[in-house]
Amino acid sequence: MSALSDPLSGSGLSRGDAVPVPLPRGRRNAELAMLAFAVAIMLFAFVNVGYGLNGHIPSGLALYVAGFAVLMAAAHIAVRWLAPYADPLLLPLAAMLNGLGIAMIYRLQESGRGSNPGIQIGTLTSHAALTQLMYTAVGVAGFVGVLAVVREPRVLSRYTYTLGTIGLVLLAIPAILPGSLSSVNGAKTWIILGGFSVEPGEFAKILLAIFFAGYLVSKRDVLSLAGKRFIGIDLPRARDMGPVLVVWAASLLVLIFESDIGTSALFFGLFLAMLYIATQRKSWLIIGILLFLLGADIAANLFHHVGDRFTLWFHPFANGNQYGQLAQGLEGMAFGGILGTGLGQGEPFRTALVQSDFIMTGFGEELGLTGLMAILLIFGLIVQRGLRASLAVRDPFAKLLAGGLAFSLAIQIFVIVGGVSQLIPLTGITTPFLSQGGSSLVANWAVIALLMRVSDQARKPAPQPIQDEGMTQVVRAA
C-alpha cells in the first residue's frame, strides 16, 4: 500500500493525459443497420407470402416495402436529430414487428381474393394492408412529434393532473356515447365519427401511466411512511393513497361498463407495477393480486359476458361456444407445429378476427413455434430495453414512467398471448404493433418514443463543468 501514500497525485482530475475512455455512445449506426435488417425481413415476408399464395411476387410489393422503408428512415433521421443518445434497439425492434404485421395483414387480405386459395375474410377490406401502412405513417409522425415536444421526460410531470384527467375522460367517452357510436364487436370502447373510429383506451393507457408516475413521485416520501400496520403489511395513510385509488377504481368501473376486461386487466397491472416500483413494497403485489382474483370472481358471477369467458377457458372445444375462435386459433397453432406451414400456405382465415386479436395464432400457424418464439423474444427485448432505460435514468419521474410503460407492454402481450393460447381466460386486446388497427399502432409508437426519450436522457453524457469545482461559476443569463 506504500504506493498509495499520496492519493491526490492519482486523483482523476489531474490525469489529463490518460487514455480517453469511450463516452456513452448513441450507436445510431447500429440502429440504422438493424433498421435495414427489419425492412429486409418485411421484404422477405412479402415475397414469401406471394410465393406461398400463388407463386408470384405480390404486385404491390414495391409500394409497401418502399413506403415502409421511407417511414423508418424518417424515424431514424428524427432520432439522430432529436434523441441522439437513445437506445439503438427500440426503434428497429418496433419496426420489425410493425413490418411483419403489415405483411401478415396483406397475407390475410389476399386470402380468397383474386385467384388466391382460401376463404375471403369478411371483416377485412381489400386494402387493409395499405390502411395499416398509412396508420404506420401516422404512428411514425406521432413518434417524431412526441420526441420533438417532450425534450425532457421531466416536462411531462408538470402536467400530471391535466394528463390524468384527459386520460380518464378519454376512457369515459365510449361509455357515455350511445352504442351505435361506440360499439364494435361487442366491446364498447370506441369513438366512431363518420367513417373514422378511434379506440381512446390505447391513448389513455399512456396518459394514465404519466399520471401515476407524476403522482407517485411527488408523494413517494409520504407513501413510504407507513400508516397503519395490518397483518404484517404496512399500509400508507388513506389520504395519500386516495387520489390514486380513485383514478384506478374509476378506470376499472368505466372498463367494466364498457365490457372490456382485457384493458381493465392491463390498467390494473400497470397501476400495481408502478406502485411497486415507487414504494418497493412486496405487500402491494400480494394485496393487488388477491384483489384482482376477487374482482375477477365477482365479475364472472355478476356479468354474463365475463362468466362466458371463464366457461370458454375451461371448455374451449365444447359445442355451442359462441367464442369458437379460441378453438380455431388453438387448432391453427397445432396445425402449424414446430416449423409452421410457411407464410401464405396455412389456413389462418378460418379463425375469426385473426387480423387483430388472434394475429399471434396466425403467426403460430404459418411460422410455427419457431417463428412465434422469435416474435415473443423481440417483444421481450423491447420490454428489456425499456426497463434498462428505467434503471439507468436518474430522474425518478422518468424512471417510474419508463418502468410503467415497459411493464404495461409486457402485461398486454401476456394477456393476449396467454389468452389465445388458453393459459388465461381470453380477453380481447390488441397485440402491440402486429394487430390491425390504427389506435393501437399510433399509441404504441408513442410508447416507443417515450421510452427512447427516457433512454436518451439516461445515456446522455453528463454536461461538462464550466469551471473547476470550488470556484464561483459564471452563469450566463441568456
Q: Does 41 bind another protein (CB under 8 A)?
A: yes
Q: Does 342 bind another protein (CB under 8 A)?
A: yes
Candidate residues 61, 235, 381, 424; the one interacting with another protein per rule CB under 8 A: 381
Q: Which is nearer to another protein, 182 or 455 (CB)?
A: 455
Candidate residues 392, 418, 422, 460; the one interacting with another protein per rule CB under 8 A: 392
Tell me how far apart the alpha carbons of residues 468 and 234 are, in angstroms, rounded to a whole number: 46
Q: Does 18 bind another protein (CB under 8 A)?
A: yes
Q: How far is the CB of 39 from another protein (least distance, A)?
A: 11
Candidate residues 2, 4, 114, 478; the one interacting with another protein per rule CB under 8 A: 4
Candidate residues 71, 150, 170, 367; the one interacting with another protein per rule CB under 8 A: 367
Candidate residues 20, 114, 178, 463; the one interacting with another protein per rule CB under 8 A: 20
Q: Does 104 bind another protein (CB under 8 A)?
A: no
Candidate residues 2, 21, 178, 478; the one interacting with another protein per rule CB under 8 A: 21
Q: Which is nearer to another protein, 231 or 338 (CB)?
A: 338
Q: Does 401 bind another protein (CB under 8 A)?
A: no
Q: Does 346 bind another protein (CB under 8 A)?
A: no
Q: How far is the CB of 352 from another protein (least distance, A)?
A: 25
Q: How many CB atoms lie within 10 A of CB 330?
A: 18
142 Cα distance to chain centroid: 15
273 to 278, 284, 404, 451, 468: CA distances (angstroms): 9, 9, 7, 16, 42
Q: Does 384 bind another protein (CB under 8 A)?
A: yes
Q: Which is nearer to another protein, 24 or 242 (CB)?
A: 24
Q: Does 362 bind another protein (CB under 8 A)?
A: no
Tell me how far apart the alpha carbons of residues 125 and 111 are, in angstroms, rounded to a whole number: 11
Q: Which is nearer to another protein, 92 or 262 (CB)?
A: 92
Tell me how far apart the alpha carbons of residues 257 and 464 are, in angstroms, rounded to a whole number: 54
Q: How many CB atoms lie within 10 A of CB 301?
A: 11
Q: Does 51 bind another protein (CB under 8 A)?
A: yes
Q: How far is the CB of 329 from another protein (least distance, A)?
A: 20
**Long-range Cβ pairs for the range 284-293 (8 Å, 24+):** 286/233, 287/233, 292/265, 292/268
Q: Which is nearer to another protein, 281 or 309 (CB)?
A: 281
- Name, in order, each residue with C-beta under 8 angstroms of 432's C-beta and a sequence gap of 6 or more: 97, 379, 409, 412, 413, 440, 444
Candidate residues 2, 11, 180, 319; the one interacting with another protein per rule CB under 8 A: 11
Candidate residues 291, 377, 423, 466; the one interacting with another protein per rule CB under 8 A: 377
What are the backbone angles phi and psi of residue 187, rounded to the nearest 5°?
-95, 125
Q: Which is nearer to another protein, 93 or 454 (CB)?
A: 93
Q: Does 48 bind another protein (CB under 8 A)?
A: yes
* CB contact at 8 A, 91 and 452: yes
Q: Does 125 bind another protein (CB under 8 A)?
A: no
Candidate residues 86, 94, 96, 144; the one interacting with another protein per rule CB under 8 A: 96
Tell me how far apart the alpha carbons of residues 290 and 279 are, in angstroms, rounded to a whole number: 18
Tell me how far apart the alpha carbons of residues 220 and 238 are, in angstroms, rounded to a whole number: 14
Q: Does 131 bind another protein (CB under 8 A)?
A: no
Candidate residues 2, 19, 239, 471; the one interacting with another protein per rule CB under 8 A: 19
Q: Does 460 bind another protein (CB under 8 A)?
A: no
Q: Which is nearer to another protein, 235 or 381 (CB)?
A: 381
Q: How many residues bind another protein (CB under 8 A)?
A: 61
Q: By CB under 8 A, which span of 60-68, 129-137, 318-326, 377-385 interacts with another protein?
A: 377-385
Identity of residue 456: D
* All three cell numbers of 473: 461559476
Q: Which is nearer to another protein, 9 or 180 (CB)?
A: 9
Q: By CB under 8 A, which span of 32-40, 77-85, 111-119, 246-254 interacts with another protein?
A: 32-40
Q: How far is the CB of 87 from another protein (least distance, A)?
A: 8
Which chain residues interact with another protein by CB under 8 A?
A: 1, 3-4, 7, 9-13, 15, 17-25, 27, 30, 34, 37-38, 40-41, 44-45, 47-48, 51-52, 55, 87-89, 92-93, 96, 280, 339-343, 345, 367-368, 370-371, 374-375, 377-378, 381, 384-385, 391-392, 394, 469
